[in-house]
Chain A
C-alpha cells in the first residue's frame, strides 16, 4: 500500500511532536511553518529579550534529521482543495535569501543592516532589520523582501505602476510611456476603458483617495499624441522562422502578436472576421468612451512591427481551421465572446425588434445601424447594458430604459458609467425582470415585466432576486436589447473537434502556458475566461505568447 501522506501546518511544540509521532508510524510528513525557523509562535517573544531563553525543543534536531519528514519553513498555505477523498494544498514557499549552511552566525549583517522595517511578528510595534533571524538557538537567517506593490500585484498584466506613475511625477513622460509599453501595447485605449482594479486596491485610499493610475496612463499616452511623436517598436535582430497564426484581432490576440514580434518572430498573421481591428474595443466599446482613431493608431503601431492583419476573414468559412493547423506552427485563439445570450422568455424569437447587445453595439460601431426611434429597453446591469443604453440615447431613441433585476448596489457596471447614463437621461428601473415579449404583426410592441425583491446572498455574494407574485406590469417599447451576458461562438471550429471545453463552452487551458489540450494550439482572452475586462484578456494573450515561445523553442 502507498504510504500515507500527512500535512502538518504550524511547527510549534505540538506540531513538532505530532510530526515525529506520525513519522515514526511510517507516514510521510510535510511540516509547514510560516516563520523562517521552527518553533512557531514560541520563538519571537524571546528573540529580542533573552537569547538564552530561546525556544529550544529537544525534538528539534530529531525532526530535522528524520528521513520521513520534509520541512517547509517560511511557507504559507494559499488554498486547500478536496477531491476524491484526498486533500491537495497549494503552498507558497518564500525564499530565505540566505545560505544558512555557510552562515557562521556572527551577526555582523544585523549590525550594519541599513533597512529598518516594521516587524512582521509583533504587528509593527518595533523595528526589525531586513536581515534577521527568529530563533536564537538555531539562528536561521532570512532577508525579508516585500512582494510587488499592491497595485502591480492586482493588475492582471503586472504593469510596473510604481515605476510609470513615479516617472510621470518626475516629468519624464516618454520614459514613463516606454515603461508601460514594455508590458502593454495599448496605453491610450486601456487608459480610457479599464475598470482599474489597481485603484480599488491602492493603499493611498486609506489616507485620502487612490492614485488615478488609469487616467495617468491615458495622460502619458495622450501627451505623445499631442506632441505628434510617432514611436516605433524595436524588434530584436535575432529572428525565428516559425509561422504563427492568431485568430481574432482583439486585445488578447494583438497583445500575443506584439509580444511574439518583440521576441523575434517574423511571420505572424492575425485573422480577423470583422473589417476592423480591436475586437470588443472597437465593436463593443462606444466611440465616446474610446475614440476609434486612438485605437487604430495603437493597432497600426503593432502592424508596423511586421505583424500582418488580414480582415474580413472568418475561420471556418473563408479558411478552415484544419488548413490553419497545416500551414502554421502554432495557433493562438483569441476569438472572444461575441454571442449575446438569450433571455429565454416566451415571444423572444417571434418578433422583430429584439436584438442582443453584442449585435446592437457592433452594428452601431460599423455604421450599419445609425438611427433609432421610439422606446428602447435594455435588460441587464453590466457595462454592456449601460453602453447599449447610452449608445441608444445618442442614436435618437425617444426614451431609453435600463431594466435590472437587482438594485443599483449590486450592479456589476462601473458606478461612474451608471451615474453618467442617469445624468444623460437614461431611466433606470431596478428590481424588475422580463416575463414575456409582446408583439403585433411580427413586431415588438412591449414587454411584460415582474417586480422582484432581494432574498439571501447567492454564490456571487449578491442577494438573489425573487419574483413577487402577481406584480406583473407592461412597458411599451419598439426595440428591446437584452444585455445579460455573452457567450463564446465556437462555430469556427470543425464539427468534430477534439478540444476540451468547459461547461461554459470555453477552452480548457493550462494555467501556466495557455496551451489547450491540442499541441500547438493556445487560447486566451474571453474565449477562455468568459466575458471579462480587457486587461485580463491582454494578460491571457501575454501568457500564451510565453507559452508559444516555449513550445516552439522546445520542439
Chain B
C-alpha cells in the first residue's frame, strides 16, 4: 500500500482507540511509483501532527520515516528507535501529553471529526496546485502562507467541531457554549451564524431573551 493512501482521519481514530504511537514508514522521495504519493503523505501526516498537537497530544507519538524495502537493518533501527521514544513518553494521557485521560479521548474524537471534514481535506489535497500552478485565479502561494492557512483551518475547524459536539448533548445558548468551550463568545456567535446559514444548526427557542440553538435534523 502507498503511504499516500493513509487517511488522516485514520490516524486520529487509531489514537482514539488507545494506541500510544503511530509510525508510518514509506519510500524515499523520488522513488514513488505514483510519482508524488509520498510527498502528499508527508504533507498529510505533518498536518495531522499539527492538529494533534493543537488538541493536546504529544506530537512525537506520530512519526513519518522513509526506508526502502531492501534496507532491513534500517527498518529495524527505525522501529527500535520509535519504540524507545514511545516508551519514554509513556502511555497516552498519562503525563506525556498536555491533556490527561479521559479528556484526551474526547478531544481525539473532535480531531477525527475535523480530519474527516471536507475543508481540511480539500485544502491539503490542493497543496501541490496551490504551491506550484496556482489557484483558479492564478495566485501561487508560498509554503509558509499555506502552512499559516492550514494552522488557521485547524484552529477554526476544531472550534466548529467542538461547538457541534457541545450541541449534540442538548440545546445551548451562545454564552453557555462560550463558557463551556473557553472560546470568546463573539467567535462562537460567528460560527453559529455560519453553521445556521449552512443548515447544520437551528434556533430552538428564545428563553429569557436569549436564543438557544440545537442541531438541525439532517435529511439526506
A interface residue numbers (CB < 8 A to B): 48, 107, 110-114, 116, 126-129, 132, 145, 162-163, 166-167, 169-170, 172
Contact = CB atoms under 8 A, between A and B. Distances in A.
B122 interface: yes
Q: 7 nearest interchain CB pairs?
A: A166-B142, A114-B119, A127-B194, A126-B193, A127-B190, A170-B143, A111-B198
7 contacts: A48-B193, A114-B122, A127-B194, A128-B197, A129-B194, A129-B197, A129-B198
Nearest to A126: B193
At the interface, is chain A mostly helix, strand, loop or mixed? mixed
A422 B13 CA distance: 67
A145 B138 CA distance: 13
Interface in B155-209: 156, 189-191, 193-194, 196-199
Contact of B144 (A110, A111, A127, A170): A170
Contacts of B143: 170
Given A127-B197, A169-B142, 12 more contacts: A107-B199, A110-B197, A111-B198, A114-B122, A127-B194, A129-B197, A162-B145, A163-B140, A166-B142, A167-B142, A169-B144, A172-B142
A112 B118 contact: yes
Given A126-B189, A127-B190, A166 B141 contact: yes
B137 interface: yes
B198 A110 contact: yes
B123 interface: yes
B144 A166 contact: yes
Contacts of B190: 116, 126-127
A113 B189 CA distance: 18
A167 B137 CA distance: 19
B209 to A, nearest CB: 16
A72 to B, nearest CB: 22
Contacts of B145: 162, 166
A436 B157 CA distance: 73
A113 B119 CA distance: 8
A464 to B, nearest CB: 45
A162 B148 CA distance: 14
A114 B125 CA distance: 13
A111 B199 contact: yes
Contact of B123 (A114, A145, A163): A114
B38 to A, nearest CB: 21
Interface residues of B, number: 22
Interface in B115-158: 118-119, 122-123, 137, 139-145, 156
A48 B141 contact: no
A425 B38 CA distance: 63
Contacts of B141: 166
Which of B118, B193, B199 has the most chain A CB atoms closer than 10 A to its own CB?
Answer: B193
A113 B118 CA distance: 9
B156 A116 contact: yes
A126 B194 contact: yes
Contacts of B189: 126
Contacts of A172: 142
A145 B137 CA distance: 9
A59 B142 CA distance: 50
Contacts of A114: 118-119, 122-123
Nearest to A132: B197
Contacts of A163: 139-140, 142
A430 to B, nearest CB: 45
B102 to A, nearest CB: 31
Contacts of B193: 48, 126-127
B198 to A, nearest CB: 5
A167 B143 CA distance: 8
Contacts of B199: 107, 110-111
A431 to B, nearest CB: 49
Nearest to A166: B142
A467 B94 CA distance: 83
A170 B143 CA distance: 7
A98 to B, nearest CB: 13
Contacts of A128: 194, 197
B144 A48 contact: no
B83 to A, nearest CB: 34
Nearest to B142: A166
Which of A113, A126, A145 has the most chain B CB atoms closer than 10 A to its own CB?
Answer: A126
B142 A48 contact: no
Interface in B85-121: 118-119
Contacts of B194: 116, 126-129
B196 A48 contact: yes
B161 to A, nearest CB: 14
Nearest to B153: A114
A167 B198 CA distance: 36
A163 B144 CA distance: 11
Contacts of B123: 114
Contacts of A166: 141-142, 144-145
Contacts of B142: 163, 166-167, 169-170, 172
Contacts of A113: 198
A162 B143 CA distance: 12
Nearest to B137: A145
A107 B194 CA distance: 14
B98 to A, nearest CB: 27
A348 B142 CA distance: 58
A197 to B, nearest CB: 22
A111 B140 CA distance: 27
Nearest to B198: A111
A107 B196 CA distance: 13
A126 to B, nearest CB: 4
A127 B186 CA distance: 11
B132 to A, nearest CB: 11
B167 to A, nearest CB: 17
A110 B189 CA distance: 18
A168 B118 CA distance: 31
A113 to B, nearest CB: 8
Which of A110, A128, A166, A172 has the most chain B CB atoms closer than 10 A to its own CB?
Answer: A166
Interface string B5-40: 000000000000000000000000000000000000
Nearest to A114: B119
A128 B145 CA distance: 22
Which of A48, A110, A127 has the most chain B CB atoms closer than 10 A to its own CB?
Answer: A127
Contacts of A111: 198-199
Contacts of B118: 112, 114
B146 to A, nearest CB: 9
Nearest to B117: A114
Nearest to B203: A49
A298 to B, nearest CB: 25
Nearest to B122: A114
Which of B118, B142, B156 has the most chain A CB atoms closer than 10 A to its own CB?
Answer: B142
A57 B191 CA distance: 32
Nearest to A167: B142
A172 B144 CA distance: 11
